[in-house]
A and B are shown apart, each in its own frame.
Chain A
Amino acid sequence: MGRDMLAVHVEKNLGEFSMNVAFTSESRATALFGPSGAGKTSLINMIAGLLRPDRGRVEVDGEVLFDSAARIDVPAWRRRIGYVFQEGRLFPHISVRNNLEYGRWMSGHKFDPAAFEHVVELLDIGHLLDRRPGKLSGGERQRIAVGRALLMQPRLLLLDEPLASLDTARKRDILPYLERLRDEAQVPMIYVSHNANEVKLIASRVVWLDGGRVATTGGVERLDATQVDMLA
């Protein structure tokens, strides 16, 4: 691959906390790793267009989405970046099926039964389609949130601690789905986590954040060398 899949350099002042982060990645699965409060969520919010950097540049797959110098700021709804939120954030007022379909409606794509079936099968959510999000378990909700983000045909998938709200047994249930997602879905992803084991399983490259700065970057094997005592 000649060019970077992702090139980010952002600065943002968030009251007492300031961020200045620069990294590039050509990997299909990049992890943003670091302790709580390191600025991981703020960083991906800036990539998604939900938080506006004070200064900087965000480039995804060759397209500039934000550039303060050139006054470019593509709104979130036009960025085509899928986002799996920590708490899922499924729309409570519509069914699971309509949650999955929401991104397609908004983009105006035609219904693609094969793509829909593929995602439903990949995440094993076929039996949930006619339910409402309110009655689902945490693990089911996260799988549907992943499906919803995938079905909008994103060019990049952001996963913000998708397992953080689940207990250990549930995490073990979901991790295989995330591995399949990485291997089969053909969408590059950024996986945010403070758990080194998850990161090693999912990602190949890691960007280590601490205090709003990049502490180090490299292959996931670095996580072994620097023994991690911060993980949950």
Chain B
Amino acid sequence: MFDLSPQDWTAVALSLRVAAVSTVIALPFGIAIAMLLARGSFWGKSLLDAAVHLPLVLPPVVTGYLLLISLGRKAPLGAFLADHFGIVFSFRWTGAAVACGIMAFPLLVRAIRLSIEAIDRRFEDAAATLGANRGWTFMTVTLPLALPGIIAGMMLAFARALGEFGATITFVSNIPGETQTISAAIYSLIQVPGGDADALKLVVISVVICVVALLASEWLAKRATARLHGA
């Protein structure tokens, strides 16, 4: 069953790397935006909310194209990053991670925001009377109490990144070993005669990865919730 070609294994490894890196990089931004949306009151808040949700409703190809014309080698921002920091996204796995991170961002923010909104703010008052300023209150009270939601959000983002196809292939193409993730590899395989068998193996593998990730996050979230309730 698992006698995959080296190229297919590369696609699996790349997918895991892209999904993990995009989730981890997106996390601090996701927490910051979730905090803003949950707690802030400022002009343009619903605009920000809409912008965050945009990747969820836009066709992924559109998101990918927008990335291409903003972060591509010849685009102003992309050229600036390449010239000054040596950061290149186009046709690199890092570009795939950016595309996946952006596609997964709404799910990440949504889960974290809901858990922040559910926190009893009176605990934060208690922290203040005990001498904690806002930064410490956030680190020692708000963040730990939001942990189940953060775990759930990371899991959703990871799974979403793993399944990302349209934005990635539009932005960084489908280069074996560099940007060819599981989804892109499956797509390539079913384009060639006789590729169905290998495609099916990759399908099974991606199902297994997602089920394992779901179970793991379920278990982690349960443990985190149990900790909060004094087990």
Interface residues of A (CB under 8 A from B): 48-50, 75-83, 85, 89, 91-94, 102-103, 106-107, 131-136, 148-149, 152
Question: Complex: how many Å from CA A132 to CA B144?
Answer: 15
Q: Is the CB of A134 within 8 A of B230?
A: yes
Given contacts A50-B129, A134-B230, A135-B230, 8 further A-B contacts (CB under 8 A): A49-B128, A76-B128, A77-B131, A77-B132, A80-B131, A82-B129, A106-B127, A148-B130
Give the CA-CA distance A56 to B128 in the complex, in Å. 22
Of the A-B pairs whose beta carbons lie under 8 Å apart in the complex, a sample of 15, sorted by A's number, is: A75-B128, A80-B131, A81-B129, A82-B129, A83-B126, A89-B126, A92-B123, A93-B144, A102-B140, A106-B127, A106-B136, A107-B131, A131-B230, A134-B228, A135-B230
For B132, the chain A residues whose CB sits under 8 A away are 77, 102, 106
Q: Is the interface of B mostly helix, strand, loop or mixed?
A: helix
Q: Does the CB pair B228–A93 fall under 8 Å?
A: yes
Q: How many residue pairs at the A-B interface have CB separations less than 8 Å? A: 75
CA distance A152 to B131 in the complex (A): 8
Which chain A residue shows the least CB distance to B143? A93
Contact of A91 among B131, B136, B141, B231 (CB under 8 A): B141
In the complex, what residues of B have CB within 8 A of residue A132's CB? 227, 230-231
List residues 122-181 of chain B with CB under 8 A from any CB of chain A. 122-123, 125-133, 136-137, 140-141, 144-145, 147
B side interface size, CB within 8 A? 23
Query: Distance in Å from the Cβ of B32 to the closest Cβ of chain A?
Result: 21
B229 at the interface (CB under 8 A from A): yes
Known: A93-B144, A93-B145. A103 touches B229 (CB 8 A): no
Residues B227 and A83 in contact, CB atoms below 8 Å apart: no
Bound-state CA distance A135–B230 (Å) is 6
Query: How far, in whole Å, are A130 and B231 apart by their CA atoms in the complex?
Result: 12
Specify which chain B residues have a CB less than 8 angstroms from the CB of A78 in the assembled complex.
131
> Chain A contacts of B137 at CB under 8 A?
77
Q: Report chain B residues within 8 Å CB of A131.
A: 230
What are the 5 closest A-B residue pairs judged by CB atoms, nearest first?
A134-B230, A106-B131, A132-B230, A76-B128, A103-B130
Chain A: minimal CB distance from B92 (Å): 40
Query: How many Å from the CB of A130 to the closest CB on chain B?
Result: 12
Alpha-carbon gap, A83 to B128, bound state (A): 10
Q: Give the distance in Å from the alpha carbon of A27 to the alpha carbon of B65 in the complex.
A: 72
Tell which of B125, B127, B133 touches A102, judged by Cβ atoms closer than 8 Å.
B127
CB distance from B143 to the nearest CB of A (A): 10
- Determine which of A48, A80, A91, A106 lies in contact with B123 in the assembled complex, contact meaning CB atoms within 8 Å: A91
Residue pair A89, B227 in contact (C-beta under 8 Å): no
> CB-CB < 8 A to B229: which residues of A?
92, 134
Alpha-carbon distance between A77 and B129 when the two chains are bound, in angstroms: 5
Contacts A92-B230, A133-B230 hold; do A77 and B122 have CB atoms under 8 A apart?
Answer: no
Q: B133 to chain A: which residues have CB within 8 Å?
A: 75, 77
Chain A residues near B122: list those with CB within 8 A.
Answer: 85, 89
